[in-house]
Structure 1
Amino acid sequence: MNYHHTTTGIFRSRPNRFLAQVEIGGKTELCHVKNTGRLGELLLPGTPAVLDRHEPGKRKTNYSLIAVRKEGQWVNIDSQAPNAAAAEWLSGSPLGFPVTLLRREQTFGDSRFDFYLEGEGGQKAFLEVKGVTLEVNGIARFPDAPTERGVKHIRHLIEAREAGYLAYLLFVIQMKGVTAWEPNERTHPEFARAVREAAGAGVIVLARDCRVWEQGMEIDAPVACRMGSGGPAM
């Protein structure tokens, strides 16, 4: 997926979770942050940043902050990018069957999953996407803040699997250079338990890293999933 009006700057501060002060061309601009997560290890004063420029008058700010530099590489922090990248990735039928139908925002029970798929072999599947920006010592972790909504999605993926659907949980790691993904047990133990329960119930847990550049991002290589607490590696 690509952005069409990008520019670079220097991150200065984050007054609140929705806004950042970024120096662009020697002038400090107030920018929208397209991610409400903590991002404490990424949004450091002096960090190079990528901004997506808005059409004049369309939004309250002129720019959105979409990526920052960490240890020599770009990390995409746009919370909408993983779904866009996943839609492109799924069009290539990477799940082992040719996809004949792909719908976004499909309801099942009390949840709305990111994707519903059908395959030419009669497969019917739901897939939920989670974007990952937290990396510690080469290990990607999710979530970076407690997410009751994420737990709810996982519980309903289990229900979908029990109802006969294929069910997938895809962690899109918005960077390169990680060796594994694991649930962030310390930040949200309930989420970690739910992921392990889902894997045991037949939900397929996947992680993929991404190629990230100033104008875009695409899903790239598989990353090992480590369940933790004795759970299976996938």
Structure 2
Amino acid sequence: MSDKNRRPEQNSIKFKEACKLMNGALLKYPQGCRIGRFIRREKRFFVSVELDGQEVKAHTNNTGTMLGLLRPGALVLLSPAANPERKLKWTVEALGQKSGKSFFWVGVNTSMPNRLLGAFFEAGLLPWTQGYTKLKREAVNGESRLDGLFTGAGLPELWVECKNVTLVEDCEATFPDAVTSRGAKHLQTLMRLKAEGARAAMLYVVQRPDGRCFRAADYVDPAYAEALAEAAACGVEIYAVVASVSEEGISYAGLLPYQA
């Protein structure tokens, strides 16, 4: 039976059953991951890491500041490059963070939110997508490329943009950690799509466990915070999902309330 033919109570049961997956990794890291120690960041995409007593260069696709995470000696979770010919043999997946006596990983790989969008959808962990049957990744609309387009019989198109959240201040998960004109452009696109009759949503994937709510980081990028507030007022849906990071991979860990 397809999702569109399910009775509402069946969809509810499906969602509750899927939530049992929270303790298992929906996205597993490649085999051969290693743990090193952070030395320094070099330029935009390079990080120096101590691994087996040697200094190695690793790739990071995170162009943000990773504020508060790049501390000398911090643990770094590295995954091996899929292409053996790649110059940089390691990719930075997560950085270790200590809070009192506790330790947790913060996922900094910015390709994960797009992948998690599909994984969460397939697992039935996004109740606001119920009734939608197809997801097109990297969907183009005008001059913008958004992370996802959901479609379903009799339903308006649902356009979604995903962002990775690594910054927590005073128990508030916040985005962005650096000024992002591109992020503001995505919000403008979503507002236009909403005005044209589609559904539009922002999905913030918080790859750390210590946030109690989500809001825009107005102290980092006031223009983005203003644009997000405008988007929410225009009917753009705002969701924040906690993604639990382990050395095995990433799992679903619940929702955070959005604070305008």
The TM-score bracket by the shorter chain reads over 0.9
Quick check: 1:4 aligned with 2:37?
A: no
Alignment match of 2:232 (pick from 177, 180, 199):
199
- Structure number with higher relative contact order (C-alpha < 8 Å, ≥ 6 residues apart): 2
Name the residue aligned to 2:47.
20
Structure 1: 5+ residue stretches without partners: 228-234
Contact 2:168 2:210 in 1 (8 A): no
The corresponding residue for 1:54 is 81
Is contact 1:11-1:23 (8 Å) kept?
yes
Percent of aligned positions that are identical: 31
Please say if 1:108 is aligned against 2:135: no
Q: Deviations over 1:157-205 (max 9, x none)?
A: 0110011101111111111121011111121111111111111111101
For residues 84-95 of structure 1, the aligned pairs below 5 Å read 84-91=115-122, 92=124, 93-95=126-128
Q: Does 1:177 align with 2:210?
A: yes
Residues 29 and 162 (structure 1 numbering): CA distance in 2 closer, same or farther, change over 3 Å? same
1:121 CA displacement: 4.2
**Secondary structure, in 3 states, of the residue corresponding to 2:245?**
strand
1:154 to 187, 203, 215: 187
Partners in 1 of 2:64 and 2:164 — Cα distance?
11
Structure 2 SS opposite 1:95: helix
TM-score, scaled relative to structure 1: 0.92
Deviations 1:93-128 (A, max 9, x none): 521522211101111222111100013442321011
State the partner residue of 1:230. none
Deviates more, 1:15-24 or 1:196-205: 15-24
The 10-residue stretch of structure 1 (106-115 or 202-211) with the greater mean CA deviation from structure 2: 106-115
Q: Superposition RMSD on alpha carbons, in Å?
A: 1.4
Task: Output the CA distance in 1 between the equivalents of 2:223 and 2:252.
Answer: 27
The amino acid of 2:29's aligned partner reads Y
User: Relative to 1, partners in 2 of residues 1:197 and 1:77: Cα closer, same or farther, differing over 3 Å?
Assistant: same
Indicate the SS of the match to 1:219: strand
Distance 2:170 2:94 in 1: 20
Distance of 1:24 and 1:127 partners within structure 2: 38
Distance 2:104 2:225 in 1: 28
> Quick one: which amino acid aligns to residue 75 of structure 2?
P
CA deviations 1:8-44 (Å, max 9, x no partner) are 1111111222111111122211111231111131010
Unaligned runs of 5+ in 2: 1-26
Matched residues in 2 for 1:56 and 1:184: separation? 36
| 8 Å CA contact retained: 1:34, 1:66 | no
Question: Could you report, residue by residue, the CA deviation over 1:38-80 in whole angstroms, capped at 9, with x for unpaired residues?
Answer: 1131010011110011256421111111101112101110010
Does the 8 Å contact 1:82/1:174 carry over to 2?
no
Tell me the distance in 2 between the aligned counterparts of 1:70 and 1:56.
29
Amino acid at match of 2:253: D
Specify which structure has the higher proportion of helix.
2
Distance 1:200 1:11 in 2: 41
Question: Is the 1:17–1:38 Cα contact (8 Å) retained in structure 2?
Answer: no
Matched residues in 2 for 1:146 and 1:118: separation? 32
Whether 2:114 is the aligned partner of 1:83: answer yes
CA distance in 2, matches of 1:199, 1:24: 45
- Is 1:41 paired with 2:41? no
